[in-house]
Amino acid sequence: MKKNIDLTAEQKLVLFEDGTESPGTSDLNNEKREGSYYCVNCDEKLFDSTAKYESGSGWPSFYQSLPDAFETKTDTLLGYERVEYHCKKCGGHHGHIFEDGPDPTGKRYCNNGVCLIFKPKN
């Protein structure tokens, strides 16, 4: 498992200590170019830009991930059940999956932007 030694304190907090970035703070909220999103810790490709949409949540949102990109677990930190997802390659926490997304999946992968690197299509 490759780990990025150059992670910021906020990235470490979100990825490995169950933290969350403040809503509306990620530059990736406004990213509209074609490309792919990768885990900031291990550089695993997680999402294609075609699955990104504006959810109004304040975090970059996607209606589907790439196959086998994540593992999930139940999170009850806020007193109710949520589905939390982690990078399958490095175990870094990225966000939660909600059932209020658009077609065709109805899913909303609500991702902390500090956990992602966007690479534009060439």
Using CA atoms, how far residue 40 sits from 6, 100, 115, in Å, is: 10, 26, 5
Using CA atoms, how far residue 35 sits from 10, 49, 52, 54, 122, in Å, is: 24, 5, 10, 16, 8
* Cα 87 from Cα 71, distance rounded (Å): 7
Looking at 87, 90, 110, 115, which residue is catalytic? 110
What six digits make up the tokens of 25? Answer: 């703070």
Please indicate whether residue 42 is annotated as part of the active site: no
Which residues are known to be catalytic? Answer: 110
